Structure 1
Amino acid sequence: MEKHDQGFMKKQNKLTVFEIIKNHHPISRASIAKRTGMSPTTVSRIVGELTEQGYLLNSEQISAGLGRKSTLLSMVNAAVLSVGVELDRTVMSVGIVDIQGKLVCSGKYSRAPDESPDRTIDRIGEAIEQLTQLQSIDKTRIVGIGVGLPGIVNNEEGIVVFSVQLGWKNVPLAARLKELTGYEIAVDNELKVRALAEHLKGAAVGSRRTALLGFGHGVGSAIILEGDIYRGHMNSAGEIGHTTVDPSGMMCECGKSGCLQTYINIGSLLSEANRIRPMSTIEELFDARRAGEHWAVHLIERALMYMAITINNVVCMYNPDSVILSGELVDKFPEIYEEVEKLYLSRYVWMPLVGSFAFHRSMLDERGVMIGSGLLSQNRFFALE
């Protein structure tokens, strides 16, 4: 037991030092010791191990007082790479992510809505092969693959329990993708990995309690509490799009009627728009609104109202210090963020909580799920190591 405890502590100390260097480099050994409370000897041993593994390099020296020089440590950004994948109904995005959460390269690929899991997995493998060859990437540096997708995911076993948008049920995605590629696989809900990315590298850096809301083909939310993803019992915490707004309302693709997302998501908006005239893209609906067509103005303004109601519900439940608006609707039509902020929040957020949170638009936009998935994979790699 004692040996096990010692080994665990050594691993935790190494992870702590690694995270401090990653987030605060260039940094000296003395500063690391001060931040962690570890002895200089322990810090030097860990730094030596990380340098030997190719993660660190010594940069310039600075004066440490009395003529002594202190060497600063920096990360080798390409020392660890991961693959971040976003799966959506009609699009698959694949990117290579470095240790700082930057996209080294990426590609976007069309996807048939009824594409089978096996075909999608094969195409992920093909995309990785294509990207690594085109960019001359050292595949030995890739430590794993992270996949973010809509739906309920058993993140511990990498099983897609249920995804309405993909039409998947009980798909052992991690096992199949590992069998194909040989890499360790992390699978999670898309909004959870997007929230992780925003927390680590985007709009929520420094936040202690972040709520991210996604509006696109579905509606959902994700919560980061003190740096950790809040998951709930089945990793389904945040599925606010399927809360009931009107039991007699429109049918949702999940089979229930009156779900919140039926008033906001792209499919429902287009379905209602087609009652007026044929329309195949959300861009056409926004064009009709800009042209002043009253029915289009009504549809979109109603959606913005329900977005504000969603924000209020999440704020009342979790009392976050930051709220981030994200998703395809917000990425494609940035004016949504300004309108919700200026015209709707004060109307629909409970008065005691007005002004209690910072309101942001996603900084990482359509890159967020790829970056978050890649970082999730890296986090798992270092935890296992």
Structure 2
Amino acid sequence: MKKIVKHDQDVIKQHNKLMILDIIKKQRPISRAEITKITGMSATSIGRFVSELCEEGVIRETELTSSGVGRKAIMLDIEPGAIYTIGVDIEKKRINFGIMDFSETVIVYHRIDYQSQKANPEETAELICREIRGLIDREGIPYEKVIGVGVGVPGVIDYENGIVQLSTTFGWKGVAFADLIERELRIKTVIDNDLKVKILSEYLYGSAKGSNKTALIGIGTGIGSALIINGEVFRGGSNSAGELGHTTLDPNGNLCECGKRGCLQTYVDENSLILEARRVADISDVRQVFAAARNNERWAKEIVSRTALYIGITINNIVCMYNPDTVILSGELVENYREIVDLVEQHSEQVIWEPFKGKFKVIPSELRGDAIVMGAGALAMQHFAPLAGSWA
């Protein structure tokens, strides 16, 4: 019986300690007295837990002191160099990396050109591990302080087991990708769908800050979406909620890479724009389409306008289903050609169902190309940092 009581006491102490660390992390810099007020715990208990956290190297006393009347109080902050995570964003033609410290700041970015869709998963994992090792060495970070790796991958991801169930972008199916990284690096690894990772970063650091319910639409070489409600990513039954690109617009329409006809992405993504443009011009890159549109060439303006209309229809469908307060437009198509956002807003006036007009805002991504790296680093931090109950 005594052992059970002792165990319960240890669990409560650990919970209180993590709670205090969480408060410091979210409200830094903060004084011991302020923590006492927030928690309702005694000043003695707060002092003891703070001392332990300082000894463990995850928080530190700053040179700042509290302002106001009475005795000055030394402020507490987290120690950014206590632990690190690595964020990885795998794209078709490149892989992006970032090292995130405990303050959730990405201290260094690294990008390499790589044809991921032409490589097998093992080759990709081997390259990622090699680049991560080189990045850690170059930054002079002690290997043991890197507590986790987060990876954003396009496709349907078994998030809990670290498996890429299906990525039509890369042609991967049933790949235990997190395990490939973890076994090689000996660092805990979590993977998730790239847009779910992206919306997490927008919620924590970007356009979705303060939003209760945000939908994100990603438009580039494919199209997808993600939803975050009160800080929780909406995953659906198999973590595949948001696969907008493969919703059907026309069962007799364009043939999609997934094998079906009339999928949304065959009307909106970059490849569809290029195929449409080739009917009237020698086009090999979507940049040429937008350059022609900016040049007032009628065929190009028509293609861009039509794409904006389909994006507006997509927004209407999402709003009708989920009723978000914010819709974020992201992806290379939006980030490289911001004028399309204005066109989308114009078309949305025609297609948004009346009860929802004026009830939500449409905004471009604030974090742009860095969002997935930041979100992947944050995902790993949430899973493996002290706040998740695992001490470095």
Q: TM-score higher than 0.5 here?
A: yes
Residues 1:43 and 2:46 aligned together: yes
The farther-off stretch of 266-275 and 162-171 is 266-275
Q: Which residue of 1 aligns with 2:36?
A: 33
CA displacement 1:120-173 (0-9 Å, x = unmatched): 111111211222233333333211100001100011110000001011101101
Q: Distance in 2 between matches of 1:47 and 1:223?
A: 37
1:265 partnered with 2:273: no
The RMSD of aligned alpha carbons is: 1.9
2:156 to 152, 156, 174: 152
How far the C-alpha of 1:384 sits from its partner, in A, is: 4.3
* Inter-CA distance 14–270: structure 2 relative to 1 (3 Å threshold): farther
Instruction: Output the CA distance in 1 between the equivalents of 2:5 and 2:212.
Output: 34
Give me the whole-angstrom Cα distance separating, in 2, the residues matched to 1:14 and 1:193.
Answer: 28
Q: Which amino acid is 2:156 matched to? A: I
8 Å Cα contact 1:203/1:362 also seen in 2: yes
CA contact (8 A) 2:305 2:343 kept: no
1:197 and 1:372 in contact (8 A); partners too: yes
Residue identity in the other structure for 1:156: E
Q: Which residue in 2 is equivalent to 1:354? A: 357
Residue 62 of structure 1 pairs with residue 66 of structure 2: yes
Q: Which amino acid aligns with 1:98?
A: D
Q: Which among 128, 132, 139 is matched to residue 124 of structure 1?
A: 128
CA distance in 1, matches of 2:315, 2:6: 49
Aligned residue identity for 1:74: D
Which of 210, 215, 218 is equivalent to 2:214? 210
Q: 1: distance between equivalents of 2:30 and 2:22?
A: 12
Name whichever of 107-116 and 182-191 sits farther off.
107-116
Q: Which moved more, 1:47-56 or 1:364-373?
A: 47-56
Please tell me whether residue 326 in structure 1 is matched to residue 322 in structure 2.
Answer: no
Aligned to 2:376: 373
d(CA) in 2 for partners of 1:238, 1:127: 31
Following the alignment from structure 1 to structure 2, what is the Cα–Cα distance between the partners of residues 307 and 8?
50
> In 2 relative to 1, CA 9–246 (structure 1 residues): closer, same or farther, beyond 3 Å?
farther
Shift of 1:278: 3.0
Alignment of 1:108 with 2:108, yes or no, is no
Inter-CA distance 47–207: structure 2 relative to 1 (3 Å threshold):
farther
Q: Distance in 2 between matches of 1:204 and 1:10?
A: 34
Give 2:147's aligned residue. 143
Q: Flag the 1:119–1:353 CA change in 2: closer, same or farther, 3 A.
A: same
Q: Residue 152 of structure 2 contacts residue 192 of structure 2 at CA under 8 Å; is this kept in 1?
A: yes
In the alignment, the residues of structure 1 paired with residue 361 and residue 38 of structure 2 have an alpha-carbon distance, to the nearest angstrom, of 28
CA contact (8 A) 1:64 1:70 kept: no
Distance of 1:159 and 1:185 partners within structure 2: 11
**1:92 aligns to 2:95 (yes or no):** yes
1:200 Cα deviation after fit: 0.7
Using structure 1 for the length normalisation, give the TM-score: 0.94
Unaligned 5+ runs, structure 1: none
Distance 1:25 1:157 in 2: 34
User: Which region of structure 1 is more displaced relative to structure 2, 91-100 or 193-202?
Assistant: 91-100
Q: Which runs of 4+ in 1 moved over 6 A?
A: 1-4
Q: 1:14 to 1:277 in 2, by over 3 A?
A: farther
> 1:336, 1:38 → 2: CA distance?
53
Structure 1 range deviating more: 84-93 or 15-24? 15-24
CA separation in 1, counterparts of 2:296 and 2:145?
53
Of 249, 264, 289, the match for 2:253: 249
- Letter paired with 2:365: S
Say which is worse superposed, 107-116 or 117-126, in terms of deviation: 107-116
Query: Are the equivalent residues in 2 in contact too, given 1:327–1:365 (CA < 8 A)?
Result: yes
Distance in 2 of aligned mates of 1:312 and 1:13: 45
Matched residues, number = 383
Distance across 1 between alignment mates of 2:8 and 2:341: 49
Q: Deviations over 1:213-266 (max 9, x none)?
A: 111111111111111111111001111221111111111111111111111111
Shift of 1:182: 0.5
Q: Using the alignment, how far apart are the partners of 1:375 and 1:208 within structure 2?
A: 19
Partner of 1:188: 192
TM-score, normalised via structure 2 length? 0.92
- Distance in 2 between residues matched to 1:64 and 1:56, nearest whole Å: 24
Give the conservation status (yes or no) of the 8 Å contact 2:31–2:66.
no
The reply to whether residue 233 of structure 1 matches residue 237 of structure 2 is yes
Q: Assess, with a 3 A threshold, how the Cα gap between structure 1 residues 306 and 58 changes in structure 2: closer, same or farther.
A: same
User: What is the Cα deviation at residue 38 of structure 1?
Assistant: 4.1
